[in-house]
Structure 1
Amino acid sequence: MSKSIQVIGPFITNYSLARTNRGLAKALSKVQDLYKTYLYGSVDQLDKYPDDSDLNKFPYIKSLWSKDELETDIAIYSNFPKEGIVNIGYSQIKAKTKTAFVAWEESIYPKIWVDEINQNLHGVFTISSFVKDILKKNGIKVPIFSTLIGIDDAMLVNPTAVFPLQTKKKFKFLHISSARKRKGVDVLLKAYFSQFSKDDDVCLVIKSFPGPDNMVPELLSELQNENSPEVEHITSPDLTDLDMVNLIHACDCSVYPSRAEGFGLPIAESMYHGKPVIATNYSGYLDFANESNAYLIDYKLVNTTDSEMVNLGAKWAEPDATHLAKTMKYLFENIESEEVTQKVNLAKEVANELTWQNTAKKILPIISDLEKISHLKTQNAGVISFLNDDDGVGEYTADLYSNVEDSFNNFFYISNKDIDARKKIDASNVIRTWESGETSFQETLKFIQEYKLQHIHIQYHSGVNFAPESLDYLLMELARLEVNSYVTLHAVKGKGFNIGLECKNLHLAKSVFIHNKEDFDSVPTDNKVLLYHPRKLVPYRSKSHVQNKLELDSYNPIIITHGKLVLQKIDLESVLESIKILKKDYPNILLIAMNAVVASNSSAKSDFDKLQEVVREFNLEENVLFVPDFLSEEEIFILLQVSDIALFPYKDVGESASAAVSKSLATLTPTITTDIKMFSEFTNEVLKIKDTNPTNISLAIDSLTKDLSLKNDLIKNSREFIEEYSFAMQAVRTLSYF
């Protein structure tokens, strides 16, 4: 008997949520046959109840629409309440596994909805990484996954006619939106009027919709005079999807100086149809728009005004009108240039991937994982770990379980009393019951019994928190209490220890999680699970904005190296020689050598002096910036994000995975590595070179600088790699063994 999925919410009108819901349901029904797919909405949930004419317009909906609410295996709720910020109704969903598909724009998500999600849902899908980050920062503690949305099938067609515009001007900018304050139409009109006049062969075409929040009539009344450039304002609500395709093709450039977008579908549609795009360098569409395929406008974050929701304290972007005006002028004058053509071609490649079928294919395996953990919503659990100190295991624990705290009925962090170098204040669910070197766990076991915890996950680091014998004792006591136990081994073997052999009771755990294949193979227990270390995607920063702040905007390209300064391991001498070669074609090239020098290591200090001498010998004083200090993680991320290429010219010295490359991928900085064992886990996320020969390094940098398609592929593959092994994804995979 097949399982069932129900997409709940509006689905029959041109309302953005309705388009989303029918696109998602249609795709889910097409790409798999494990789940029978339904569309449902009560009279209260729908913006319009379907009639025969609606069903004739969308005939495929007839087979998807359920007039009655069913109790399904999966529910995907995609709707907003009609009354404003009140309960959405997640508690009323009839399904074994309950999820939501969420769109949002502002920096603050209402607490009433945060609480409702945490209490009732098993997982959340978002239309962009931007929305995912907002939900996470606002306290949602069930798994969140960014799956993007698709361009409507009806828009994936060729134009059939010339759209009947009134203007006779040759060059036409296009803006499609509701023309509310959030859409930035005020910034657009002011920038356009400041840069052009009636004598310019240009027209701004605005397609908006009738409504009280439409700012265009008032703005035109305020701005227009006898010398104003031409504006054609289309407000008809009756244009078909094909009309919109024809309109996009009738114009030369699309402009979207939005203050915030959950996704930015008109931007994706313009890219798909081969039109250059100008957009604010902020919010949801940065999942597919970047400096290689669009013209991104500077901004500053400000408090929201006249937003669609009364959401005190929320922020959005204020686009730089001067930068916008200059960019519009540049596109007006250079629309036929090779640069514009290249950006358009790269944008179309990305937009071709934005289909509902691809979204459905992302959602389906996540749904399968969420089904495996839905039973935990009524159960109690805890994790034994360091927490809120400067220990890496504590940071790992917080990063992992912050995604799934509310996947349980009650969840606790059971940590040590003798905390050292506290970094954060404990939350109410942090309980301190043991000390480093603990042997009895008397207080810990009492707490587990008192609060009826059914699952205990132990984060264990090679005797740092307590001895292997103590771990054995704890596992034995948990088994005696019939509590399911799980162990993550953060260091399996090293000089003087081998936890896999020293711990005799690992077999008592339900699962033993291990982060790499070599350690996995060395542990002699049948309950082991290979679960790769999770990855983080660093919050986006505008490269051009940060370059300007750091006074690095005159350099191009910017190359960065990272890792402790050990010349036997990192061939920085060859890198300097490659910079010397590249300087002939790139006189403003900059190498940021972010390679920390250990003060107590005389060899490292000698190597540093040697490199400085090479810089002088090659006359690279203006092209090399050494950063010999140990930086904070945030500082490292900023310097990686300001760079065009991250370079790891490592020699094969027998070491395993490099954390430095993981940091580079987390910032989506295009990355070059040598083809050695250390980087064997990376495939198409990086560009690999045979060795550290200066010619090979310089050729790789030159290729990646010139080939924007290759650069875009690396960025796309890096994002997919990070998402596949994200903390949210690995947290759900961990819980699937509970």
Structure 2
Amino acid sequence: MNILLEGIFYNGHGLAEGNRILLRFLDQAGYQVRIAARDRQEKNLVLTPQETRYISSFEHTELSSHDLYLYNGVGSHVRHRPEFCVNIARTTFETDRIPAFWVPELNKFDEVWVQSSFNLRSFRASGVNVPLRLIPNFFDMSLYEPRGPALKLPVSEPFIFLSVFDLKERKGYDVLLEAYLNEFSAADHVALVVKIRDHTKSDKVEELIARHPKPARDRPSVYVIDQMLTTSEMLGLYRASDAFVLPTRGEGWGRPFFEAMLMELPCIGTDWSGQTDFMHGENSFLVAVERFRQIANHENDMFNGHYWAEPSISDLQRNMRMVLKRKVEAKRKGRTARAELLEKYAMPKTAAKVVAEIAKYATRIREVNEARWQTTSNLLPYRSLVSDM
């Protein structure tokens, strides 16, 4: 089977990592795969030369027929490819619905893959009426080993809360900073380390801290990492931390939670959206939703009019304090989480789901290609006659 896989592959975004793993699934299954990389200009940012060579080699694969088109990326860019026998889209969204303009295009596809039960509900409620398939996120889980070298941090406090996020309102970093600064003081000897993607926006974090009413001398420590980290450095950052916290307003999946749980960190997160597929009261610390808020004046108009969760600041404070006070219980939950994820989301199981979804179209693709070949064959004498005249 010939497959065109489109998306991002080379940068440090979770979608790119997912596409690299998806590509390996397809390659190992024996499919003929060509990639259409939307981020070719970022080839040399985060990957090793060996990985870059492997990925880029698929940009030149010759496809002998247009069998299956698989798009894995942001839904705004999804476009049906009628020249392919089968079209599959894989995408996600983080609010109670998807943008209305996505729906007509997605409904042209043979099926749509989503990452979570949350998206099964939100896509269907938004009007997507083609078959929806739940395919969990893609991870190289073999990398996530809790034991190993820790990243050296300029932190003297004995307990570290870690948070990893883009500086977007959806991530709830404003809620995090308010709850942390409310709950703790310098006397608690704790630190909050935040890893952000965009170094040009770190002043947003500093402004929120400066506006907090607690006197500067009494505030607990906050450290910001705003530089690119390699995969091994990120793993070292998880190992250097004692707990993970992110009061997100909405996730399609919740990749940072999943990574932290694989690293056995006690995780604190909002009890709503994609992460609740793998986070529950026995393996993590869930923050109650105070209310659902309609989004307005968002910098990305796709979100306006939608609803997302407002996590309870007081419940977030309670959970952070609990993790600090009950370290033994917190560590037990971290171990439970890792064991559950390794069993339920093992990549061979996910790869098998991917291959099964694609393999079921083999008969249709063969029949369509035979019909196309027959049509072309019937035209050949006519074309020959025309050329001879």
TM-score when scaled to structure 2? 0.84
Match of 1:318 in 2: 310
1:425-444 residue pairs with structure 2 within 5 A?
none
Match of 1:73 in 2: 67
Q: Which residue identity lines up with residue 256 of structure 2 in the other structure?
A: P
1:90 aligns with 2:86: no
Q: State how far apart, in whole Å, the 2-side matches of 1:147 and 1:286 are.
A: 15
- Measured against aligned partners, the alpha-carbon deviations of 1:317-353 in whole angstroms (never above 9, x if no partner) come to 100000000110111011123xx34322221122214
Q: Indicate which of 8, 19, 23 corresponds to 1:10.
A: 8
Contact 1:127–1:146 under 8 Å retained in 2: yes
Q: State how far apart, in whole Å, the 2-side matches of 1:233 and 1:22 are.
A: 29
Match of 1:48 in 2: 41
Q: Indicate which of 273, 277, 281 corresponds to 2:263.
A: 273
Q: Indicate which of 15, 27, 30 corresponds to 1:29.
A: 27
Q: Indicate which of 139, 155, 162 corresponds to 1:167.
A: 155
Q: Indicate which of 78, 94, 97 corresponds to 1:108.
A: 97
CA spacing shift, 1:298–1:51, aligned 2, 3 Å: closer
Q: CA deviation at 1:153?
A: 4.9
| More contact order relative to length (CA 8 Å, sep ≥ 6) | 2
Contact 1:75–1:93 under 8 Å retained in 2: no
1:270-669 residue pairs with structure 2 within 5 A?
270-299=260-289, 300-305=291-296, 306=298, 308-337=300-329, 340-352=330-342, 353-370=344-361
CA spacing shift, 1:307–1:262, aligned 2, 3 Å: farther
CA spacing shift, 1:354–1:217, aligned 2, 3 Å: farther
Q: CA deviation at 1:374?
A: 7.7
Q: State how far apart, in whole Å, the 1-side matches of 2:217 and 2:43 are.
A: 48
Contact 2:170–2:250 under 8 Å retained in 1: yes
1:253 aligns with 2:243: yes
Q: State how far apart, in whole Å, the 1-side matches of 2:124 and 2:364 are.
A: 20
- Measured against aligned partners, the alpha-carbon deviations of 1:382-440 in whole angstroms (never above 9, x if no partner) come to xxxxxxxxxxxxxxxxxxxxxxxxxxxxxxxxxxxxxxxxxxxxxxxxxxxxxxxxxxx
Q: State how far apart, in whole Å, the 1-side matches of 2:207 and 2:98 are.
A: 30
Q: State how far apart, in whole Å, the 2-side matches of 1:283 and 1:241 are.
A: 26
Task: Report SS of the residue matched to 1:310.
Answer: helix
Q: State how far apart, in whole Å, the 1-side matches of 2:152 and 2:46 are.
A: 27
CA spacing shift, 1:257–1:241, aligned 2, 3 Å: same
| Runs of 4+, deviation exceeding 6 Å | 373-377
Q: Which residue identity lines up with residue 37 of structure 1 in the other structure?
A: V
CA spacing shift, 1:213–1:108, aligned 2, 3 Å: farther
Q: State how far apart, in whole Å, the 2-side matches of 1:167 and 1:51 are.
A: 31
Match of 1:568 in 2: none
Task: Report SS of the residue matched to 1:162.
Answer: coil
Match of 1:150 in 2: 138
Range that drifts further, 325-334 or 61-70: 61-70
Q: State how far apart, in whole Å, the 2-side matches of 1:375 and 1:292 are.
A: 48
Q: CA deviation at 1:38?
A: 3.3
Greater share of helix residues, 1 or 2? 2
Q: CA deviation at 1:39?
A: 2.4
Q: CA deviation at 1:255?
A: 0.4
Q: State how far apart, in whole Å, the 2-side matches of 1:153 and 1:38 are.
A: 25
Q: State how far apart, in whole Å, the 1-side matches of 2:220 and 2:46 are.
A: 42
Contact 2:34–2:60 under 8 Å retained in 1: no
Match of 2:118 in 1: 130
Q: CA deviation at 1:262?
A: 0.8
Task: Report SS of the residue matched to 1:207.
Answer: strand
CA spacing shift, 1:244–1:50, aligned 2, 3 Å: closer
Q: Which residue identity lines up with residue 246 of structure 1 in the other structure?
A: G
Q: CA deviation at 1:218?
A: 2.2
Contact 2:251–2:274 under 8 Å retained in 1: yes
TM-score when scaled to structure 1? 0.46
Q: CA deviation at 1:371?
A: 5.1
Contact 1:295–1:327 under 8 Å retained in 2: yes
Match of 1:58 in 2: 51
Q: State how far apart, in whole Å, the 2-side matches of 1:102 and 1:64 are.
A: 25
Q: CA deviation at 1:359?
A: 2.2
Runs of 5+ in structure 1 lacking a partner?
378-738
Q: Which residue identity lines up with residue 74 of structure 1 in the other structure?
A: L
Structure ID, larger Rg: 1
Q: State how far apart, in whole Å, the 2-side matches of 1:265 and 1:127 are.
A: 11
Contact 2:175–2:247 under 8 Å retained in 1: yes
Q: CA deviation at 1:204?
A: 0.6
Q: CA deviation at 1:159?
A: 5.1
CA spacing shift, 1:154–1:304, aligned 2, 3 Å: farther
CA spacing shift, 1:95–1:357, aligned 2, 3 Å: farther
Contact 2:80–2:87 under 8 Å retained in 1: no
CA spacing shift, 1:74–1:64, aligned 2, 3 Å: farther
Q: Which residue identity lines up with residue 322 of structure 2 in the other structure?
A: Y
CA spacing shift, 1:304–1:53, aligned 2, 3 Å: closer
- Measured against aligned partners, the alpha-carbon deviations of 1:602-640 in whole angstroms (never above 9, x if no partner) come to xxxxxxxxxxxxxxxxxxxxxxxxxxxxxxxxxxxxxxx
CA spacing shift, 1:55–1:282, aligned 2, 3 Å: same
